Each structure stands twice: as structure tokens, then as C-alpha cells.
Amino acid sequence: MSRLSEKIRAGKFVVTTELTPPKGIDLADLYAKADSLREVVDGINLTESPRARMTIEPTAVAKLLLDRGLEPIVQFTARDRNRIALQADLLGAAVLGIGNAVFMTGDDPANGDHPDAKPVFDLTTIEMLRMACVLNAGRDLAGNELKGAPELFIGATANPGATDLQREMENTRRKIEAGAQFLQTQALYDVPVLATFVDALRPDVGLLVGIIPLKSAKMAHWLNANVPGIRVPDGLIAELDAVAGDEDAQTRVGIDIAARIIRSVRPYCAGVHLMTLGWERHIPAILRASV
């Protein structure tokens, strides 16, 4: 059983974050960031070639972090592998001691750095979740018995701020029914939106609310304009606008906003998922301010 699953099942408020493995084999920067967070986070997501831009394979990096005493969470996408490869890779991860997996569709290669790559998308996210449950039960997708079954802690994503909330809730329910044991959400800044989502969904799994700390008003406007499901309220943008041009003040305000959101979402979730986009060094300050 993974340490992350133990903490969520014990009702402890957990904190996860994410790091993107590099394009290459030099892991010095990733190690430095991960090591700096070992005392403050309960798990570190390792992304799988996000935005379809090739990076080193995350399971290998996860094993190296595990050897350093850190708790990795590996993202698996349907973009690059068929069901045979996905099952094989999940079993390989389990053999290495990696028990946390988050499943998602993945970005279209046409928008990445290898636009001529052929997309696979053999399975949907729902089907990948079911696949992981089948493996946990000791069989493969074809019904063949495994010689030793893994014990995967199965995760998926959710978007409480989706424009079509009813459709998002139905999709999230299907993910839970398919076997998701925890959910990591899209970044959220409006607590009433989360409350509406939770009250309607009543999730019986670990819900980790996504937060992207805001570095500036410009960043907030960009998120509103370019990322579906994210809505930074005008009041938060006004706070950042008031200190525009003062980088230190913007950092303080960004940390304070993130900390306030963490305090506000605690009654509705099992923890938070911090996506800091280069602000990993500020995670300790955010968490201290959130208490």
C-alpha cells in the first residue's frame, strides 16, 4: 500500500505537487526541487510528456525519487501506448515499488514538439481506470490470470470549474465507478464553485483540489483566457493589480492568496495539489501561511 493512500484513508490532509521530468537525462534540477519538498509534501506527480512535448519517461524518474525516500505519483496517458503497453508499464512500475498512478487522456501530438507522431488513444481514461482495477484483481484485460498482482492506488482528474458542470459531474462519477480512488482537480480559485461540485457529486474518494499560485495579474488573466475550467475571480486579480511592478510584493500576495484558498477548501477535500510552475521554492511558505 502506498504511503499516500494510507494518509488519505487515515483522514490526514495531504499535499501533493508535480514536477516535469526534463528533456534529457540530467536530473540535477529535478532532484534539487524534489529534495527541498520532502518534508512538506506527501507525493510528487511526475508528468508524462505534457503538452505532447517529449521528456524522459516518468516511471524511471519515479523509481529514482523512491530510492531517495520520496513518494512518486506517475501520470499515465493514453496518447502514446496501446492497452498491451499500458498494462506492461503498470506492472513494471509496480515491480519497482511505484504504487500511485493517475490516468488521463494526454495531449494531441499535433500540438507538441513531434507533430508527425502517430497518436494511439487505444483506451479512454475510463477504460484505463478499469484496466488498473482488473490488474489489481489479478488478471489482464483479456481475462488472463497474472502471476502476482499489483496494488495500485488509482487516480484520475476532475474539473469542478467546467463550463458544463452537469457533464463534468457525470464524467467524474464514471471515473469513480471505474475505480478511481483519488481525484486531482484542475486549478480552482472560487471556493463556492468547489462547494457546489462537492455537494452535488458527494465523492467518496480522496479529492485533492488543484491550486496554481498566482505570480501576477497578467498570469491570472492568461489563465482565464487560455485554460478551460479555470476562473480567477476579479477580486483576486485586483489584489495582484494593486502591487503590479513590485515583484516582491506580487510574490507575497500570490503566496497569501494560495494560502487562503487552502484554508478555505479544507472542509471540502482530502488535500490539495499544488501546481507551482517554477515556484516550488515557495511551497513551504504557502503551507506555513495556510495553517
Amino acid at 272: V
User: Quick one: pLDDT at residue 286?
Assistant: 98
What whole-number distance in Å separates Cα of residue 165 and Cα of residue 160? 7
pLDDT band at 5 (very low <50, low <70, confident <90, very high): very high
What whole-number distance in Å separates Cα of residue 101 and Cα of residue 85? 15
Residue showing cell 493514453: 78
Phi and psi dihedrals of 43, rounded to 5? -170, 150
Residue showing cell 529535478: 30
Select from 122, 141, 131, 229 the least CA-distant residue to 180.
Answer: 131
pLDDT in tens, 254-291: 999 999 999 999 999 999 999 999 999 999 999 999 99
Q: Is the pLDDT of residue 115 over 90?
A: yes
> Could you tell me the domains of the chain?
3-290 (3.20.20.220)
Please give the average per-residue pLDDT across 84-93, as a whole number: 98
pLDDT in tens, 234-251: 999 999 999 999 999 999
Please give the average per-residue pLDDT across 23-30, as a whole number: 98
User: Quick one: pLDDT at residue 142?
Assistant: 97
Residues in CB range of 196: below 8 A, 6 or more apart:
160, 165
Q: What's this model's pTM, rounded to 2 decimal places?
A: 0.96
Q: Is the pLDDT of residue 1 over 80?
A: no
User: Quick one: pLDDT at residue 95?
Assistant: 97
On average, the pLDDT of the chain sits at: 97
| Cell numbers found for residue 141 | 484485460
What whole-number distance in Å separates Cα of residue 135 and Cα of residue 146? 8
